[in-house]
A and B are shown apart, each in its own frame.
Chain A
Amino acid sequence: EAQVTQNPRYLITVTGKKLTVTCSQNMNHEYMSWYRQDPGLGLRQIYYSMNVEVTDKGDVPEGYKVSRKEKRNFPLILESPSPNQTSLYFCASSRPPDNEQFFGPGTRLTVL
């Protein structure tokens, strides 16, 4: 089954404790993205990647890192999480030319 998986689905952590949210897709897509969703602010793109080793900032990249060492994986790294990063996070993948994005189920992160 074609899908995007994210882990963990739920995470409660404390300020400053480094964490990684994994994202994996099995569709051989070139493009992958990370979004966060907050009440009243909608979905905002954090980072995106056009292929292995090619990443770029979205609209809200501050406080996040990403890497794309393999085509199928695109982890989101929070080196020093803060409470304002409490959010619902989505990973997505797509490929040209249609660029139809497939989204993962989401990761609900709470930073205390």
Chain B
Amino acid sequence: DAKTTQPPSMDCAEGRAANLPCNHSTISGNEYVYWYRQIHSQGPQYIIHGLKNNETNEMASLIITEDRKSSTLILPHATLRDTAVYYCIVRVADSWGKFQFGAGTQVVVTP
């Protein structure tokens, strides 16, 4: 299974864009990149996912490098409510139900 590497923490100023990196150098061709976040001890919340094209929704943008070995989640205008742990996950190719979360990145948005 492809593993992901994320920085343990990062700070972001309110109103600025937050760029969260994720390395997944062993990702295989049919594995997707998913992003979730968890605010305090609440249930994780889905943000976005992609295979190889860049994706955007109302919450964020996902930029995947051409070689697919890394990606960046962009929160365009961070707010205090975006303070959370952000998880980059690569879905196991041969099992739709199996997910492996890493340690994530603790993002703190400051006023």
Contacts and interface: CB of A to CB of B under 8 A. Distances in A.
A100 B49 contact: yes
Given A48-B97, A100-B49, A88 B41 contact: yes
Contacts of A98: 49
Contact residues on B (Cβ < 8 Å of other chain), bracket: 20 to 34
Nearest to A105: B43
For the residues of A in contact with B, the DSSP-based class is strand
B41 A101 contact: no
A33 B42 contact: no
Contacts, number: 60
A98 B102 CA distance: 20
A43 B97 contact: no
Contacts of B44: 43, 90, 92, 101, 103
A49 B97 contact: yes
Interface in A86-112: 88, 90, 92, 96, 98-106
A37 B95 CA distance: 21
B43 A45 contact: no
Interface of A: 4, 31, 33, 35, 37, 42-45, 48-50, 56, 58-59, 88, 90, 92, 96, 98-106
Query: What 7 pairs across the A-B complex have the smallest Cβ distances?
Result: A103-B43, A48-B97, A43-B101, A100-B46, A31-B97, A103-B44, A50-B97
9 contacts: A42-B101, A45-B100, A56-B97, A59-B100, A90-B44, A92-B44, A100-B49, A101-B46, A104-B43
